[in-house]
Amino acid sequence: MTGNEKQDIKLVLAGHVDHGKSTIMGRLLADTDSLPDGKLEQVKETCRRNSKPFEYAFLLDALKDEQSQGVTIDSARIFFETDFRKYIILDAPGHIEFLKNMVTGAARAEAALLVIDAAAGVQENSRRHGYMLSLLGIEQIAVLVNKMDLVDYDKQIYQEIKEEYHSFLQEIEIEPHTFIPVSGMEGDNLVELSPRMSWYQQETVLELLDSFENEKLPRNKPFRMPVQDVYKFTKGGDDRRIIAGSVASGSLEVGDEVVFYPSGKKSTVKTIEGFNEPEQTKVTTGKATGFTLDEQLFLTRGEVATRNGEAKPQVGTRLRANIFWLGRDPLVKDKTYDLKLNTARSQATLVEINRVIDASDLSQHQNKEQVERHDVAEVVLELDKAISFDLAGELAPTSRFVLVDEFEIAGGGIIQEALADEQTWVREMVMLRNYKWESSRITLEERAEKYSQEPTLVLITGEEDVGKKPTAKALEKELFDNGKIVYFLGIGNLLYGVDADIKHSEENQKEEHLRRLAEVSHIMLDAGTILIVTAIEISQQDLDLIKTTVDAEHIETVWIGENITTDVDYDLHIPDFKDEKEASRQIKSLLQDRGIIFKPW
Amino acid sequence: MDHLAKLENKSIHILREAYSEFDNLAMLWSIGKDSTVMLWLARKAFFGHVPLPLVHIDTSYKIPEMIEHRDRLAREWELDMIYGQNETALEEKNTFPDGNATHLECCRKLKTEALRNTLNGRWRRYRMNHNTGEYELDDSREPFTGVIVGGRADEEGSRSKERYFSARDENNDWDVSDQPPEFWSQYKTDFAPGTHVRIHPILDWTEVDIWEYILREDIPMVSLYFDQGDGTRYRSLGCGPCTKPVESTASTVAEVVEELKTGKFSSVAERAGREQDKEDGGGLESLRREGYM
């Protein structure tokens, strides 16, 4: 039997600092003959040279500064093997300072052993780690009551700890696999049942390990593949355009219709691609794969491929989530963070804190203004662009996100609910439009190459009579004379045609006007055009609505005039409008700098 | 999904994340088995292509077969191949084989310093011109901000602490006690100016995994890993003067796998033949903090 026929499983040891996780692991390795020859002797020799008593924990604490501090600072990975399967054991540090390392170790695990010191009893991090494990989505948890040798193997003490901790776990809805009384130092109940605890006649730690089940990959769930990238490597005449990513759940077959979210674009799987492997017609959960489509959709990293007919993912910009915070600085409201969910990325702001929970005792605090380091909280986040996701209760792998603060991952969360936002109604229309969209055989890139320009919406705004229209028309003429495919569209041009049915309606139809303008823009951009539009005093909310319809990367906003009267986030400001030629020249160089049109050197 | 398939999928996912998130990305290729497996995984990730440069630090003491193997695969697979070295130390003969440095000092100069200055573009780089098949001085001096390396967690203590994506500051320093968290397949892909990120796609692989995968995929390996008839082979490759072959008659990949799993090496550490490990008190940590791979 070769090793790779065996299953492997990742386990984590968690618990309060000094409760003996490393000792249990070291002892387990030694007692199962899992150490390389000489390793035990080498560590013992190091101890002798440094005149310090040997401990099994030192086997794991290979790093010098770790030994000097006497605490595990990271989740070391230890490999070992029983007759049944391979184990990758992650040792998570118990010191509160290193909670982010604990999370790193625990998040990879399929099962967890929580270690509690029989002499010290249930401590702050015993509870905190239990809670973190449940947030991280670890379903199989067993509890080892360690250092039984220090309490004279007293059954009563074991029972009390077991009861106390069990009721805590129930509060956070975890049903532990089992409790085992052990001594890492003496090796009791690890590999064999200990005669010193004849009152315990259930499984040993080794038997417990073998009884854990491998994480069940969510195979029978809806198909989700977050798009990592779209590859087109032309070397050697390769003309495949491959949508690449790892399957987060479900399965996909050649011939299946796929719908991408948040865009709602749809096509059919033509081939499943691979290298040095037999041709595949189907991929399932866990596979890092790639496929080609019948039609050439314009797709970017962050879209999620789904299978038509299966449950759709959520799409939105407002979400309610349970988060844990690990950042040096607290999570606050007046700051912008980056949210990463699978391959999607968006800026995010904290808009509400529903409650903060102290993970060490489950006490709850309302009216908190910020989330402190090591806190757990229920919050509402607002994103600056719509992403596709699932809810934690439905499809966990695509419900998990991290928050980045100052270049570092500072927190994690699971999405509980998608909240409606102001663009929801437009987005739904856009997704349906994309879904129904009949694609051309000519791709966006081919058009861009032919016309030597990137399709772009140039949105010129500002107060009344500041020179928007003359500038727009001058820019159109200038680009036209340069051979560009360009079109000027005054917002009034839509009013009596496209908008004729809503022009005189009673209620305020501004949003519908904007939506239609954006849809017309979308068609013009799809045709490869540079479209110049003028509109009075566009606000950020108006722009957000347009962005729901037209890709934000293809919009350039110009504000003309000294007074900026709205909150719009513009790309160019022309405060002192002198004449249309000068203003037009400034916009042209913006387009050149952005690589939208060619810039001569 | 079997063990190797799980490892393969994870590694491919990491390689693709790195490729999407870093503009100036390179992969270190030591020609050894680990980084060659990693290179193969890149071909898998990118469907037969390797769309990023490979960097080799040539100490000039590498065993000649390694350089031949490197250049043969570079031509065959059309790799964007770059090498760099510590030209000053070699000219001034400040090396262990010249008798002017200890093992560790020599490693520091020929590997660590050469690596740092090749990656940051301060020293000269040589790039293969595929029209001629020869190396030419590279005009580009741009620093690499993402570097893919082949470290494995099971090699020795300090490597078991690595993240998949690990930040290094301006001085290449690695603050092992204060690393960012890494969970849910989210990695450190944001970095401050002046810093760079090391990416470890094969961190979870063991030596046996590597060889079983080589067997499964039929990946070309340098002949030094196999007994050529004198009853010895290399288990770990480094510089000629500091790497000793082991006694072994394994002459095929299958025999190497068998020997590692059940034979005499099943409980002997892989790097036992590497001299620099012994000088550093059993860990490569001090070298590693300065950027040793």
Residue A4: per-residue pLDDT: 42
Q: Which of B16, B206, B217 is opposite residue A228, by nearest beta carbon?
A: B16
Q: What integer best gives the mean pLDDT of chain A?
A: 87
Topology at the third CATH level for domain A3-211: Rossmann fold (3.40.50)
Which of these, A137, A91, A139, A81, lies nearest to A111 by C-alpha position?
Answer: A139
Out of A38-52, A153-167, B205-219, B277-291, pick the least confident. Answer: B277-291
Task: Choose from A208-212, A366-370, B188-192 the range with maximum mean pLDDT.
Answer: A208-212
Domain(s) labelled CATH 3.40.50.300 in chain A stretch across 3-211, 440-593
CATH architecture of A224-307: Beta Barrel (2.40)
Residue A108: per-residue pLDDT: 81
Structure tokens at A539: 């606000």
- Which tens digits make up the pLDDT trace of B73-117? 999 999 999 999 888 888 888 888 888 888 888 888 888 888 888
Residue A73: per-residue pLDDT: 40
Average pLDDT over residues B262-282: 60
Does the A440-593 domain belong in CATH 3.40.640.10? no
Q: Do B3 and A104 touch (CB under 8 A)?
A: no
The single-letter code of the amino acid at B97 is: P
Position with higher pLDDT, B285 vs A420: A420
- Which tens digits make up the pLDDT trace of A226-242? 999 999 998 888 889 99
Residues of A in contact with B156 (CB under 8 A): 62
Q: How confident is the model at residue B281 (pLDDT cuts 50, 70, 90)?
A: very low
- Cα–chain-centroid distance for residue A557? 30
Does the B3-205+282-289 domain belong in CATH 3.40.50.720? no
Position with higher pLDDT, B46 vs A422: B46
| pLDDT at A60 exceeding the cut of 70 | no
Residue with tokens 């020293």: B123
- Which tens digits make up the pLDDT trace of A349-365? 999 999 888 777 777 77
Residues of A in contact with B188 (CB under 8 A): 407-409
Sequence-ordered list of residues with C-beta below 8 angstroms from that of A400, at least 6 positions apart, any chain = A137, A341, A392, A412, A413, A414, A415, B184
CA distance B186 to A332: 22
For residue A153, give the DSSP letter.
T
Q: Which of B13, B153, B209 is opposite residue A246, by nearest beta carbon?
A: B13
Q: Do B183 and A412 touch (CB under 8 A)?
A: yes
E strand or H helix at A517: helix A510-526
Average pLDDT over residues A286-304: 93
Position with higher pLDDT, B137 vs A425: B137
CA distance A439 to A469: 33
Residue A506: per-residue pLDDT: 59
Q: What is the DSSP string of A342-384?
A: TTEEEEEEEEEEEEEE-TTT--EE-S-SSB-TT-EEEEEEEEE
Q: Do A408 and B261 touch (CB under 8 A)?
A: no
Average pLDDT over residues B56-82: 91
**Which positions 211-230 of A are in contact with B (Cβ < 8 Å)?**
217, 228-229
Task: Choose from A286-295, B149-158, B238-247 the range with maximum mean pLDDT.
Answer: A286-295
| pLDDT at A127 exceeding the cut of 70 | yes
CATH architecture of A314-425: Beta Barrel (2.40)
Residue B211: per-residue pLDDT: 93
Residue B282: per-residue pLDDT: 41
Out of A96-110, A228-242, A292-306, A544-558, pick the least confident. Answer: A96-110
Residue A494: per-residue pLDDT: 85
Ordered by start, the domain boundaries in chain B are 3-205+282-289, 207-277
SS (H, E, C) chain B: CCHHHHHHHHHHHHHHHHHHHCCCEEEECCCCHHHHHHHHHHHHHCCCCCCCCEEEECCCCECHHHHHHHHHHHHHCCCCEEEECCHHHHHCCCCCCCCCCCHHHHHHHHHHHHHHHHHCCCCCCEEEECCCCEEEECCCCCCCCEEECCCCCCCCHHHHHCCCEEEECCCCCCCCCCCCCCECCECCCCCCCCCEEEECCCCCCCHHHHHHHHHHHCCCCCHHHCCCCCCEECCCCCEHHHECCEECCCCCHHHHHHHHHHCCCCCCCHHHHEHHHHHCCCCCHHHHHCCCC
Residue B7: per-residue pLDDT: 93
Q: Which of B8, B45, B186 is opposite residue A409, by nearest beta carbon?
A: B186
Residue A482: per-residue pLDDT: 93
Percent of chain A with pLDDT over 70: 92
Residues of A in contact with B261 (CB under 8 A): 2-3
E strand or H helix at A268: strand A266-272
Domain(s) labelled CATH 2.40.30.10 in chain A stretch across 224-307, 314-425
Q: Is A468 helix (H, G, I), strand (E, B) or coil?
A: helix
Q: How confident is the model at residue A507 (pLDDT cuts 50, 70, 90)?
A: low
Sequence-ordered list of residues with C-beta below 8 angstroms from that of A70, at least 6 positions apart, any chain = none
CA distance A32 to A191: 8
Closest residue in chain A to residue B207, using alpha carbons only: A79
CA distance B224 to B237: 8
Q: How confident is the model at residue A94 (pLDDT cuts 50, 70, 90)?
A: low
Residue B283: per-residue pLDDT: 42
Q: Are strands A257-261 and A266-272 parallel, antiparallel or unpaired?
A: antiparallel
Angular region, B165: left φ>0, alpha ψ -120 to 50, beta rest: beta
Structure tokens at B79: 């790799």
Q: How confident is the model at residue A525 (pLDDT cuts 50, 70, 90)?
A: very high
Average pLDDT over residues A575-595: 93
What's the pTM?
A: 0.82
Average pLDDT over residues B247-255: 91
Residue with tokens 């959960």: A285
Which of B11, B14, B184 would you mutate first to test chain A, the one with the most A CBs within 10 A?
A: B184
CA distance A60 to A75: 10
How many Å lie between the alpha carbon of B117 and the closest alpha carbon of chain A?
Answer: 24
| Share of chain A residues as helix, strand and coil, in percent rounded to the nearest 5 | 30, 30, 40
Average pLDDT over residues A308-316: 92
Average pLDDT over residues B20-36: 93
